[in-house]
Structure 1
Amino acid sequence: MRLIALNKPFGTICQFSPHETRPSLADWVKTPGVYPAGRLDADSEGLLLLTDDGALQARIAEPRRKLVKRYWAQVEGEPGTDALAALERGVDLGDFVTQPCRASVIASPDHLWPRDPPIRFRASIPTTWVELAISEGKNRQVRRMTAAVGFPTLRLVRVAVGSLDIFSLGIAPGESVDVPTDAPWQRAKHTASSG
């Protein structure tokens, strides 16, 4: 059984088959027979786990398992307590209502790698970094959540799955490392704020 942690670069599509205009996972991971346990859209960066074991893939990816995924979102504007409380309670996105989560403003992460290309800078509009810890993972969920409360996401980085943290792994964008499959990070459960 293999489990690989990849720091997925911005712009990479979350599939191994080639794409006309974007890099794919095959550009970064050369191990045959592994597949993503969950997804990150092309415009998102950070921790992506890949495995050759279907049961392990399900334990990581299925929302009913409540394995928390932690994201850092650089948003347009300055969300206050009302916006953060709305995120924590759950946001009606039309096709579903998000589950309760944890949301907080964090200091600008100086230790985060630069994005290539960088986000578009506009001096007249401030940006803020928000940390979101969710146990779901629906398509573009974090981006949709921040937009729904009035603060569109400009940059999105998944920094942790369970207690497995991308910085403790020490992997730069495009780098990967094998992770022990029996590690305790899999038991990290989500304890959401009740809002």
Structure 2
Amino acid sequence: MPESGTELAVFGGGCFWCVEAVYQQLAGVLYVEPGYAGGHMDAPDYETVCAGASGHIEVASIRFDPYQLNYEQLLDVFFATHNPTSLDRQGADVGPQYRSAIFCQNARQEAQARDKIAQLEAAGVFTDPIVTELRPGSKVWPAETYHRDYYARHPQQGYCRQVIAPKLSKLQAKFGGLLRTPAL
């Protein structure tokens, strides 16, 4: 149920633990929920999505206050904290569930995402072409409870230390002014 005065963004940028951990750091983000979107199966579970048969992508639903943090800033963070040129893969996470995707909730979000991709490509920010899919908003099936707040609950776990922590360091270095607790 939409909260009055807030907006929703839905991003797939590899493992949803990473996307969730990144966006939870931003001032103006009210909550982030990992889930599955874009597939052809109702009520998918982690094992089915990982098997690749459901067509779903691991995503994070991000509820934010557009008066504190705008959609373009969310896009800037999205493109800076994952590899949008890697098809169906982010680092060691391989499979169609890890593709780069933006589920546009309205025409304005779609136009802003298209503009952002065009700007990044024109500026030559990435060596390879951006393969991020722009899709219409669709139902997001919440991930199992054990996936929620994964990094916050398991910061010393190997994946968290090796994959998520470097993303958070990059976020702090590049977007320190957007963080809940500004960088020192």
| TM-score category of the 2 structures, normalised to the smaller one | under 0.3
Indicate the structure with greater helix content.
2
Indicate the structure with greater strand content.
1
Q: Based on CA coordinates, which of the two structures has the bigger radius of gyration? A: 1
Normalising by structure 2, we get a TM-score of 0.24
